Amino acid sequence: MIPHHGQALVMTALVAGRTSSDDMPLMAERMDVSQRDEIELLEQWLEDRDEEVPDASADHSHSAGAGDLMPGMLTDEMAQLAAATGPDFDRLFLQYMIRHHQGARTMVADLFSGGGQEPYVFQLAQHIDSDQSIEIARMNDLLAQLAASPAP
């Protein structure tokens, strides 16, 4: 989940220079804060157990075959997103981040289906699932607004 959240941070960092929406910068900032907080919690949990901590800033999207990617991870789409601006960027960002968040929710569902977890992991996974669900709903609203707005 740490590399997955790391990719979301790369995506949110693109918003400031590319969006044409007044709503997107605040939403991206909120995502950035929540993803960083969750990364810290996950890293601390691993460190407390003397486990290896993955690098959140490494480019994990191209390090494995497409079948080995975590759900929702973007590959070639990242270049497309970075090249876009204005309403095109806004649409792509929302579509890709929704897919990215749905991937995180898939990982949480997989964790829950695996049986008993320690309470801390269960709570953190529930928090991640809740945050991602709320953000997906907000992004779907923004995507609908974007689709309904007249072309420039």
pLDDT digits (tens, 9 = 90+) for 30-88: 999 999 999 999 999 999 999 999 988 765 444 444 456 899 999 989 999 999 999 99
pLDDT digits (tens, 9 = 90+) for 92-103: 999 999 999 999
Instruction: Provide the domain count of the chain.
Output: 1
Q: Which two tokens mark 83? A: 């090249």
Do 98 and 81 form a contact (C-beta atoms < 8 A)?
A: no
**CATH assignment of the domain containing 92:** 1.20.1260.10
Segments forming the whole domain that contains residue 118: 2-148
Mention every residue, 6+ apart, whose C-beta is less than 8 A from residue 20. Answer: 85, 86, 87, 89, 90
